[in-house]
Chain A
């Protein structure tokens, strides 16, 4: 019952965040001293064309009325029509979001599977070779710009060695699997299409590693730092004195208590990756949300920008909700009240 109340409060919170984000984005879109009509129609549009365009996108109405029209549409599931692609924004998001989810989840998986064990390893061997190695790799991961790393891995693994594909979601000679989730890997599995599965997995490797390296570096450093604090605690000594295996002492008593900052960063990474990774998507020709959002912002395509922002306004609170649930699981004392 208490959990239900908590969940209801958070769902109301998501709605509040969406309203806040939409109002601010809407207001800001009118502060920018640039004309979306000119951006869409060019300099040679006739007055008649401009008027028709303004009427089509309700730009001839007062700002509050424009917002109300937008919200009314939103309630009916209509996110408006993109100025740039001339398609419904919901269709555009439906096309680009699954690609972003697939890439983000793969990058997040890299960060979790590599980052957390690396952080634990580094803390256990503090001041020795494994620690120096993890810290050096983390330093590199945090310092290398993603656009440079992307180009280097494409140059090496695609151009020089020819081991992995350099871009896109699937080979041009392989038919994409029938759309069920929009995630090629999952859809290929569901369709039992091994050729598509192989191709989509191979296409995922380089962009996921490129995107995941920075997050892996942050997570490894966070985990190392918290583990170092935890390793010196009395309860760790007690656990060892009880005769528990070192593995259990480290994982159950140490790691569990050290994961709070790591989980916070994972939640934020989840949100930021799902909101689109512009550079990685651009370098690897990945047709995801980041490219769509940036193209929309540059073209002053405000219906599309609003659509992407609203999606982020759902994704971040969900990520943070999962983080808060994880806090409680890791350390029940985190609960208020």
Chain B
């Protein structure tokens, strides 16, 4: 029991020493994300009104103590709608970025490392998806499978993964002949090990940046589709 407690204290210390938590700005950012997530999760408790409740007598009201952010053209409370809307938006942003990031990264890794015909074929595939009109795809998916949150996520992820594939491939192309990769190869590391343990971690920085921007833009895209 004592050893478990000692371990957990040691674990907490390690977490506190993690580079991401060394910077006060990062802690503030994490706290802000946690706050948004908490607001979204607790929307039914925090929201002062039903987000769908229409009150035509109080349409387009400015912010007041009664309606913190005012009301929309149908008299619905904007603050309540934002709180409830954040639940859907957060899900869309996180799921789209996760799905698109994982699929795109896998394809980009294979294309960049294999090269030749495999690279050509996979990159032409990404171009097909990049060129494809998202609106038509969304309409087709909604038509075939019915309009839903899941299908909106599928439609947005289907046109987003290609960006990650191109980014990862570019990174792998510039990394694959570096000395540390040659060294790993000389030591007998397998292809999978080289790609996953040596190339991928060094290719992650631009992916993280792209993901941070896509979190927001996929939410806007979903709003456009709905």
Contacts and interface: CB of A to CB of B under 8 A. Distances in A.
Contacts of B213: 142, 214, 217-218, 221
B128 A34 contact: no
B194 to A, nearest CB: 16
B143 A222 contact: no
B35 to A, nearest CB: 16
Q: How large is the interface on B (under 10, 10 to 19, 20 to 34, 35 or more residues)?
A: 35 or more
B170 A25 contact: no
B128 A297 contact: no
B167 interface: yes
Given A222-B206, A225-B205, A265-B167, A143 B136 contact: no
Given A334-B173, A336-B116, A145 B220 contact: yes
A275 B131 contact: yes
Main SS at interface, chain B: helix
Contacts of A29: 136, 140
Contact of B124 (A16, A268, A337): A16
A237 B206 CA distance: 24
A106 to B, nearest CB: 21
Nearest to B119: A336
A309 B209 contact: no
Interface string A250-274: 0000000000110111011001100
B143 to A, nearest CB: 4
A309 B206 contact: no
Interface of A: 9, 13, 16-17, 20-21, 24-25, 28-29, 31-34, 142-143, 145, 214, 217-218, 221-222, 225-226, 229, 260-261, 263-265, 267-268, 271-272, 275, 293-294, 297, 305, 308-309, 312-313, 315-317, 320, 323, 327, 331, 333-334, 336-337
Interface of B: 115-116, 119-120, 123-125, 127-128, 130-133, 135-137, 139-140, 143-144, 163, 166-167, 170-171, 173-174, 176-177, 205-206, 208-210, 212-213, 216-217, 220
